[in-house]
Structure 1
Amino acid sequence: MIKTLLTALWLLALAAPAHGKAIRIGWVHAMANAPALIADKKGYFADEGLQVELRAFGDGPVLQQALAAGEIDIAYIGAPPVFQWYARGLNSRILAKVNYGQAALIGNAGITGVAGLRGKKVAGVAKGSGMDVLLRGYVLKEAARLEPERDVDIVSMPVGNMAAALERGLVDAAFTWEPFVSDALLRGKRLLLDVNQSLPRYPWYVVMAVPKTLAERPDDVVKVLRAHRKAIAFLEQQQDESNRLIAAAFQIAPVKTAGGVTIEAAAVVREARKRLGWSDRLEEADLRFIQRLMDYSYALGYLGKELRVSQVVDQSWQQRADQPRAKR
């Protein structure tokens, strides 16, 4: 009798919602996603009563695979992987913004601007990735008025290899992000295009969640968004401390300039802030930009069907996070 009762209780526990369990947050290990790191290190998740498992990933596609496999509940990820996987059936939602800016085109001294890329080799990340969409759709087609498949030789490589490829003359330019941009500029490379100057405050990384998390753990989702907002406030209000935390977490090394001056790691982060900032608010301009990325992706053949931004963005969660926190 007791054994039967214990078995029944055990089965009920298995069937019960996951309340009280750690919420699993995946994040692309990029400086622009610093709010995820700050929320953890400064205890903002804990302040909201959350137990969090934070797991870093090298890029968006790998993180999306973990989301599709049910290994992650919420993610800090680029907008393009979200809508690309939405088109394949992963019915996720974008809930908030993480950052604006981060990407830039850098080159060797012989190139003076984007128009000079015709016939040149440009380093980019994997074809079909979010940064590749931005490179082909905006930087080359719109800003440079070039056809990516005809006028430029795009060489795919890991972002960490781009600086060496530039130094050795294997490529003429590279489309990369912070802190790699700042590192290269401090070493004497030329800034050909700062995307954040051309498209001020364009969004890139976002907070998203899978349908199961939204349905079963709505209160925890709101708590994550509140902790996320606190982390962004810290990044803006405590810049010196946050620069040190970012430099340590991302193992940013001091940079020796062409003139022999050593730039400390925290100063590299300060330089990166010229092209990168943080905000949690999804504004109308952000939605238009995400739609633009969707349109680029469809035109480039990376999406099998046209999508509308309203299909993947749900601003109601942002509004819930605005409400005063209930007293415990």
Structure 2
Amino acid sequence: MLDRRNLLAGLATTVALAACGRGGGADAQVLRVGSQKGGTKSLMLASGVLDGAPYKVEWSEFPAAQNLLEALGSSAVDLGLVGDAPFQFAYQAGSPIKAVGAQRTQTRLAGALSILVPARSPVHDGKGLKGKRIATTRGSVGHYLVLRSLIASGLRSEDVRIVFLSPSDSRAALQSGAVDAWSTWMPYVAAAQAEGDRIVVDGKDFVQGYGFEVAPESAIASKREQLSDFLRREAKALEWAKGHVDQYGAVLAKETGLPPQIARATAEKNVRLRVPIDNGVIKDQQVVLSTFQKFGEVKSARSLDNAFELNV
């Protein structure tokens, strides 16, 4: 049996690491990239696409999109990949950020985003969550999944209690019984399943599968060339990952400290490709915005047209 504390401990630490050398944040030849645990950094290192890049990449790692978006909003990093729900949540809150690139899962992979309960829980579906306490991170894809699940199950916001916690605190709360369920994403889903937790709501039917590379307006103005080059290299890395799951998983395990089998499961479910930001993509985001607005989680309505930078 894997040790629960050790398994999840490494997933929620924010660390700053330099890849390809170090440089000052104001240096135009340094691109500061934020990565969620098990995300962009592992992919780019595994694929080797940064070899020969005409700039240095300075990595910072974050446990969740919320933390990464805070860093982007304050211009502490220049670029970072987040899901569509957390991007829209932060953008509507007034953050000076824009999406400069888009990715989308090519197939709806089971379990990549899920609501989990302990093995012995009496809950077996979304309707069974009525009256339960659900942990997730505010503004995350997990938060969005809870709201979509409520709609699908015919429940109201007052029918459940959403408890906003970090991923590591959510896991601890589920283990202690302080909450009844946890809405989260990979690699946290795989790690929790390895410890016996089970999925009661699978997000594959409730999300559109978009991820956005997001940059602060300051970086778009000063580092457009580096951003564009990184996005081109990242597109190559995504293509590479489709046919190299084992190599990707091995690097993922090394970078995150996850057991090899969990890292591979994460790599297998992390199959995305770059897609152009077009009117269809922007229109799809109205579903995300409308969902947050329906439950009163978003009060403003900044123009979606201004949330995307199309020429990077």
Fold equivalence (TM over 0.5) = yes
Give the alignment partner of residue 271 of structure 1, picking from 262, 265, 285: 265
Q: Which residue does 2:8 correspond to in 1?
A: none
Q: Which residue does 2:11 correspond to in 1?
A: none
Q: Which residue does 2:6 correspond to in 1?
A: none
Give the alignment partner of residue 297 of structure 2, picking from 263, 280, 302: 302
Q: What is the CA–CA distance in structure 2 between the aligned matches of 1:201 and 1:295, rounded to whole Å?
A: 14
Report the alpha carbon displacement of residue 172 of structure 1 after superposing the two structures with TM.
2.3
Secondary structure of the 1:170 match is coil
Give the alignment partner of residue 159 of structure 2, picking from 143, 151, 166: 151
Contact 1:103 1:275 in 2 (8 A): no
Give the alignment partner of residue 113 of structure 1, picking from 102, 121, 125: 125
Partner amino acid for 1:144?
Answer: S
Q: Alignment identity in percent?
A: 19
Q: What is the CA–CA distance in structure 2 between the aligned matches of 1:200 and 1:66, rounded to whole Å?
A: 25
Q: Which residue does 1:68 correspond to in 2?
A: 73
What do residues 272-299 of structure 1 show as CA deviations (whole Å, max 9, x unaligned)?
4565422221476654442211122223
- Describe the shift of the 1:124–1:212 C-alpha distance in structure 2 as closer, same or farther (beyond 3 A): closer
1:144-223 alignment, distance < 5 Å: 144-148=153-157, 150-196=158-204, 198-199=205-206, 202-203=209-210, 205-223=211-229
Q: Which residue does 1:239 correspond to in 2?
A: 245
Contact 1:39 1:228 in 2 (8 A): yes
Report the alpha carbon displacement of residue 20 of structure 1 after superposing the two structures with TM.
4.8
What do residues 83-121 of structure 1 show as CA deviations (whole Å, max 9, x unaligned)?
344345444221223454631011234111111111122
Q: Which residue does 2:135 correspond to in 1?
A: 123
Q: What is the CA–CA distance in structure 1 between the aligned matches of 2:171 and 2:299, rounded to whole Å?
A: 34
Contact 2:137 2:143 in 1 (8 A): no
- TM-score, normalised to structure 1, is 0.74
- Describe the shift of the 1:180–1:240 C-alpha distance in structure 2 as closer, same or farther (beyond 3 A): same
Contact 1:133 1:296 in 2 (8 A): no
Secondary structure of the 2:274 match is coil
Q: Which residue does 1:30 correspond to in 2?
A: 37
Report the alpha carbon displacement of residue 201 of structure 1 after superposing the two structures with TM.
5.4
Partner amino acid for 2:37?
Answer: A
- Describe the shift of the 1:219–1:163 C-alpha distance in structure 2 as closer, same or farther (beyond 3 A): closer
When Rg is computed on C-alpha atoms for both structures, the one with the higher figure is 1
Q: What is the CA–CA distance in structure 2 between the aligned matches of 1:288 and 1:137, rounded to whole Å?
A: 19
Q: Which residue does 2:97 correspond to in 1?
A: 92
Contact 1:295 1:306 in 2 (8 A): no
Secondary structure of the 2:179 match is coil
